[in-house]
Structure 1
Amino acid sequence: MVRRGEAALTSVFADTYERRQLVDFTVPLFVDESAVIYKRPELEPDIFGFVKPFTGLIWLLIFASSAAASLIFFILYLVPFSASEGTGLGDASSRRVRPQTSGWSKVITSLEKSVGWSLYCLLGQSVLWFPTRMTLRIALGVWLLITFIIGTVYRSTVKAMLILPLVRLPFDSIDQLVESKIDLVVFQGTALYKEISNSANGTKIGRLKPQLRSLADEQTLLDQVSSGKIAYGGIKIPLLHLMRYQRSLTGKCQSYMMTERLFKSHPIGLAITKGSPLKKKVDKIIRRLRESGILEQMLKFELKEISQCLSPISATISSDDIRQLSLKDFYGVFALYGAGLILATWVFVFEILLKMLKEEKR
Structure 2
Amino acid sequence: MVEVQDGDSQRTVVVALAVNLIIAVAKASAAMVSGSSALAAEAAHSVADTGNELFLLVALQRSGRPADDIHPFGYGAERFYWSLLAAIGIFVAGGLTAIWEGVRQLQHPRALEAVGVGYAVLAVSLVLDSTSWRTAYRQLRRESRGRGIPLRTSLRRSGDPTTPTVFYEDTAGVIGVLFATVGVALHQLTGSAVPDALASMAVGVLLVVVAFRLAQRDRELLTNQSAPPVIVDGIRVLLAAEVGVLDVPRLEVLIVGPRRWLITGEVAVDGTLPTGTVTGLVEQLRTRLRGEPGVVEAYLTPVPAAHSRVGRVETARPRSTYG
- Class of the TM-score when normalised by the shorter of the 2 chains: under 0.3
TM-score under structure 2 normalisation? Answer: 0.28
Larger relative helix fraction: 2
Q: What TM-score do the two structures reach when normalised by structure 1?
A: 0.25
Q: Which has the larger radius of gyration?
A: 1
Higher relative contact order (CA 8 A, sep 6+): 1
